[in-house]
Structure 1
Amino acid sequence: MKKVLFIISLSYLTFSCQTQQEEKSSAVGLDGWLEGTTEEKFEEVAHQLGGFSRTMVEVGYRYSELYWAAMDENWGYADHQIEHIIEAMEDGLKRRPVRAASAEDFMKETLPYMEELVKKEDKEEFLKGFQMLTSACNACHAKEGESYVVIQIPLNRTSPVRF
């Protein structure tokens, strides 16, 4: 019985100390912009990371860079873009798992296929695959009820990266 009371008392003390630490949490970050309890700070960081729209900004940038890398036949840079598209999508899907079903084919079939095409270093084959990638992007948008977001092959290069 004494052991049980000791464990209960220890548990209460631990919980009580954690609660007090939560209340006394200090602001962090440059100029203390991140403040509140630990939970509030995590919520703010999650908010700052954003939802899937921020993922799409990065994927859109890398989609364009992938295209221009292939046009330059800079296959190392193209491979780099595919890797980062995958990474951005995985991170975005962690934040918005409700989007995973729509992105499943894209992640499991389309992107691995594009990786294979980049490894072949054949511009003509890549262009055919890139059209398929573009269609897959648009199909995913349609699945999410956002068919007004229409992706097209880039017409203008905006990045200073050249090969």
Structure 2
Amino acid sequence: MKNLLALFMLSFTIMACQSPNEEKSTTVGLDGWLEGTTEEKFEEVAHQLGGFSRTMVEVGYRYSELYWAAMDENWGYADHQVEHIIEAMEDGLKRRPSRAESAEEFMKETLPYMESLVEKEDKEEFLKGFQIFTSACNACHAKEGESAIMIQLPLNRTSPVRF
């Protein structure tokens, strides 16, 4: 009995001193493209989401759609684009908080201003405000040392959405 108790105490001590079991690597996703430990999977998903450049791709698309929606006086679609620009920017700033200071004025002043212009449903006033919006985009790029990225009014439609 004494030996059994000693064996139990030794086993317990060994188990208590060991590091926790390491997580096994697994794969998920179609055809198992996402693999590794949970932490490795999160790192890969973060990489796939990308930084602020992917945010700018979406914002650029929605910028153009906003312009053409207003030209068509499709104010519901224009409102949709402003809302998604805000959402894309918020998501991008979560991934790249270092951009937040440069984007602060754009987020707190420029985008609400664009929302108010869309609500007015006045094409001429919108066009004047859209110039301000465009200048604010370029000012933010300059603050980030990206002044080579100059935004201008869209010349051609790329979307099939029409009103």
Q: Which TM-score bucket, shorter chain as reference?
A: 0.7 to 0.9
Amino acid at match of 2:100: A
Q: 1:63-122: per-residue Cα shift (whole Å, max 9, x none)?
A: 000000000000000000000000000000000000000000000000000000000000
| TM-score, length basis structure 1 | 0.88
Alignment of 1:12-161 (within 5 A): 16=20, 19-20=21-22, 22=23, 24-161=24-161
Amino acid at match of 1:52: F
Whole-Å separation in 2 of the counterparts to 1:25 and 1:68? 48
Amino acid at match of 2:159: S
Whole-Å separation in 2 of the counterparts to 1:131 and 1:146? 19
Whole-Å separation in 1 of the counterparts to 2:42 and 2:160? 36
Unaligned 5+ runs, structure 1: 1-8
- The percentage of counterpart residues that share the same residue type is 86
Q: 1:115-150: per-residue Cα shift (whole Å, max 9, x none)?
A: 000000000110011000000000000000000000
Alignment of 1:3-18 (within 5 A): 16=20
Amino acid at match of 2:149: V
- Which 4+ residue blocks in structure 1 deviate beyond 3 angstroms? none
Q: How many residues align?
A: 148
TM-superposed CA distance for 1:25, in Å, is 3.0
Unaligned 5+ runs, structure 2: 1-12
